Chains A and B, each alone.
Chain A
Amino acid sequence: MQAVTGKQISFTYEYDGVSNPVLEDISIEIEAGEFIAILGANGCGKSTLVRLLNGLLPLEKGELKVWNLDPRQESRLWELRRLCGMVFQNPDNQFVSSIVEEDVAFGLRNYDTPEEEIPERVGRALSLVGMQEYERYSPHMLSGGQKQRVAMAGVLAMEPEILIFDEATSMLDPQGRREVLACLKQLHEMGKTILMITHYVEEVLDADRIFLMQKGKLLKSGSPREILTDRELLTQAELIPPLAVRIYYDLKDSGILLDRCPLTNEELVEELCRLK
């Protein structure tokens, strides 16, 4: 089944009477259950693209189908937002309540979920992210990674099919980052469709596919290995390859050739050890 089908999507921001074309002729297909990472330089249109998917921005040009919904169909916008939940960058301004469980229940109440169903759904969402013991806590007592997991639970309580992470790890310490990524992986294994925007290449090694964007266009979509070991392609996208790939090319430039271009640090070490 197709989770997202987009054809020739373009988008222009109108601001103060100036128009700023931001997305140009983007076509994408995402299978249900896929884990897609979106990479691209600052301002290339990543956030804009995912905001179109869940109806935070209005689709103007092109065709888009998210699950079985057309984002243009305003009467079903609520359903779209439930189906396609988003977690943002800042762990501190995603809270609306001073108690974790209330916060997770907020969306459910907004959607008029019967009151008797709420505790169970909140409990289930919190245990999915490993935060069930914190239901009575105040969010400000949590670490960054815990806050982001509570934000994830708020989205999960709505039982979405698609989860979008817009730099959800970028404010976190390594520990918090690992927590959120582990959660994300687990949701992927459960069959959820995942879209993740990040500036950290080492976070996207497990993605099924990478969408590489540049200046409002989809430059290429492909496996992490295909995209991340291609120095020229990354340079064109104004990005820097992962460390192992950088070392590979820097060695190559000085006449030391490894058998193949490693993607991970483990592969790099393996390749270096093979050198006689």
Chain B
Amino acid sequence: MPIEVKEVSCRYGERTPLEVQALKEISFRAEDGEFVGIMGHTGCGKSTLIQLIAGLLTPGEGQILIDGKDINGPGYDREELRRTLGIVFQYPESQLFETTVWRDVAFALKHLDLSREEKAERVRWVLEAVGFRMERAGKSPLSLSGGEKRRVAIAGVLAARPRILIFDEPLAGLDPWGRLEFLELAARLHRQGNTILMVSHDADALCGYADRILVLDRGRLSAQGTPEEIFGDLERAETLHIGAGEVRRIAQALYEKGRLQSPAITKYKILLGEIKKNNKGR
């Protein structure tokens, strides 16, 4: 189920004095099973873009095709979109509304043809996967801390196992383990063939896990490529208004001191491996 975004433009407040062009002529393709990261500074249109792909907004111009079908075309079955695509919003607390955590997660399974036991199993699996302790599933979502709410919101979306997963800043509010666990979970889903689109400001996270990164700048798609392509040249990354991650910056400093052969390292494991290799036997 590739996602194809074709020449998409989108405006807010059309024909008012406050009209803003949120997206301008965006085109890209996300292949089946690809993990695509989306970066760009605040207000550059990232959330607009993923809301368009999720069918929550309609583009002023252009088309969005999923599995070859225009999701805004006449006769398109919106139910199909709902089954295949799950989205976790930037402020997930607004996604929680049931009286208990358990019910909130189970709600996503309502329309699925599963037995009671299967549903219960699914809820247990997904709460564990996001690091939420089962014994607290009877609590009200209102009584959770910020990071706990985010975990539950993510669980609610994953429960139905949609093939396309869209995350808008899923790491915000999670503690360091929570971030790592989430990324590992995303990597596992990615290996199982899910398509993942993830908006994040965390360059280290995207570089470590995404196949490809799209960069938006003031509503335009200003670059796309592998993490190494995007951050290989730091000056270019600067002109794209995105900051490199810590790994890349340490690699740069070591390279400048003659301690690394190449500065274009964006993944922790590779950096560590190179440092080890260069210092073996010291």
Contact present for A199 and B42 (CB under 8 Å) = no
> Is B192's beta carbon under 8 Å from chain A?
no
- Tell me whether A239 and B175 are in contact (CB under 8 A): yes
Which of B144, B246, B254 has a CB less than 8 Å from the CB of A243? B246
- Which of A90, A173, A247 is packed against the most chain B CB atoms within 10 Å? A173
Count CB-based A-B contacts (< 8 Å): 119
Chain B: which residue is nearest A269 at the CB level? Answer: B253
Residues of B within 8 A of A120 (CB): none
Contact with A along B172-183 (1 / 0, CB 8 A): 111111111000
Chain B residues with CB below 8 A from A172, complex form: 42, 201
Tell me whether B41 and A243 are in contact (CB under 8 A): no
Rounded to whole Å, the gap between the CB of B217 and the closest CB of chain A is 12
Given the complex of chains A and B, what is the CA–CA distance between A246 and B271 in angstroms?
Answer: 12
Chain A residues, Cβ within 8 Å of B43: 143-144
Residue pair A174, B173 in contact (C-beta under 8 Å):
no
Chain B residues contacting A171 (CB-CB under 8 Å) are 90, 169, 172
User: Is B282's CB under 8 angstroms from A268's CB?
Assistant: no
Q: How far is the CA of A60 from the CA of B272 in the complex (A)?
A: 49
Using known A-B contacts A16-B140, A265-B246, determine if residue A199 contacts B174 with beta carbons closer than 8 Å.
yes
Give which listed residue, A89, A145, A201, A268, contacts B42 with CB less than 8 A: A145
Q: Are B250 and A265 in contact (CB under 8 A)?
A: yes
Q: How many residues of B contact A (CB 8 A)?
A: 45
**Least distance between A136 CB and chain B CB atoms (Å):** 14
Closest-CB distance, B160 to chain A (whole angstroms): 24
Q: What residues on B are CB-neighbors of A272 within 8 Å?
A: 254, 259, 275, 279
Does B143 sit within 8 A of A, measured CB to CB?
A: yes
Chain B 238-282 against A: per-residue CB contact (8 Å), 1 yes, 0 no?
000111001101100110010100000000100110011001001
Is there an interface contact between B174 and A42, defined as CB atoms closer than 8 Å?
A: yes
The answer for the CA separation of A246 and B268 in the assembled complex, in Å, is 10
**CB atoms of A173 and B201 under 8 A apart:** yes
Contact B42 A239 (CB under 8 A): no
A275 interfacial contact with B, CB 8 Å = yes
Give B residues with C-beta under 8 Å from A.
Answer: 40-43, 90-91, 139-140, 142-148, 151, 169, 172-180, 201, 241-243, 246-247, 249-250, 253-254, 257, 259, 268, 271-272, 275-276, 279, 282
**Pairs A–B under 8 Å by Cβ, sample size 6:** A13-B143, A43-B147, A89-B173, A90-B91, A171-B90, A244-B250
Nearest 8 A/B pairs, CB to CB:
A42-B147, A240-B176, A174-B243, A144-B42, A43-B145, A269-B253, A143-B42, A173-B201
With A175-B41, A276-B282 given, name 4 new contacts (CB 8 A): A15-B143, A239-B176, A251-B272, A265-B246
List chain A positions with a Cβ less than 8 A from chain B. Answer: 13, 15-16, 18, 20, 40-43, 47, 89-90, 92, 143-145, 167, 170-176, 199, 201-202, 238-240, 243-244, 246-247, 250-251, 254, 256, 265-266, 268-269, 272-273, 275-276
